[in-house]
Structure 1
Amino acid sequence: MMDIDQHIKNELEQEQAELNRLIQDDPGLFTMVGNAYQGGMKWWMVLVSIFAFLFTILLVWTGYEFFTAETLEDQVFWGFICFASIFAQAMLKLWTFMEMNRVSVIRSVKHLEMEVEKLSHMLSHSK
């Protein structure tokens, strides 16, 4: 009975060590950003980054114009454009982070496929 308990305990410890290794191997934020610029969507990422930069310039410019406007109509005009540029920039950043997540999930699924294939190969040769 003790042999079975010890065997189960050893297997669980090995599994936990493997999970800890996988968690430690997760890339950081800058690596994930770099990975998003590779692959099939890299040109979209470049385009979105350019637009995000342009919206940042627009945000600064319209913010300045808003605070230096002399009439209420000008403040409303520049404030609306400033708000729209903030919103556009937020949506572009959201898309960027969703793309980073997609690339990360695809990487994890491919890793899982390789592990399943390796396990299947081991099981087919053990018979």
Structure 2
Amino acid sequence: MSDINQKILDAMQQENESQQVSEEQANTLQLLGRSFQGTFKFTAIAVVLLQIIFAGLTIYFGYNLFQEQQIATKMHWLLGALIAFVIFAALRLWLFMELNRLSILREVKRVELQLALLSNKLTKPSSQ
């Protein structure tokens, strides 16, 4: 059993060589930077690019909505603005869910490391 604990401890220490595991939460920029690494790297890049595109479309459609005089055409611009905004909001929600996943994963790893350290302390014979 202590062999598996040692493997967990070694893996956690190798993964976190550059940064110490601490009690404080990772800030949003660290989590955002971490979302651009790993298996979802290209997905995260695509989502951010799509967010920029749909935010721009929402602004463009909104601007044209207020510049238009005819009601029928205004409704088309309004529909375009609403659809672009809903897509932007859905992409934003995905990004926040990804940040939440990374935060939870970080906490699980921190608890694993604490359990491995505690297990090592308990299995070592005391020098009394």
Question: So what's the TM-score if we normalise by structure 2?
Answer: 0.76
Aligned counterpart, 2:36:
37
Runs of 5+ unmatched residues, structure 1: 1-20
Aligned counterpart, 1:16:
none
Give the Cα separation in 2 of the matches to 1:27 and 1:113. 17
- 1:63, CA displacement in angstroms? 0.8
Structure index of larger Rg: 1
Give the Cα separation in 2 of the matches to 1:112 and 1:126. 23
Give the Cα separation in 1 of the matches to 2:118 and 2:52. 47
| Bigger relative contact order (CA 8 A; separation at least 6) | 2
Give the Cα separation in 1 of the matches to 2:111 and 2:125. 21
Give the Cα separation in 2 of the matches to 1:118 and 1:27. 21
Question: So what's the TM-score if we normalise by structure 1?
Answer: 0.77
Please show how residues 1-127 of structure 1 align to structure 2 within 5 Å.
22=23, 25-126=24-125
Give the Cα separation in 2 of the matches to 1:52 and 1:126. 56
Which runs of 4 or more aligned residues in structure 1 lie more than 2 Å from their structure 2 counterparts after TM superposition? none
Larger proportion of helix: 1
Matched positions, count: 105
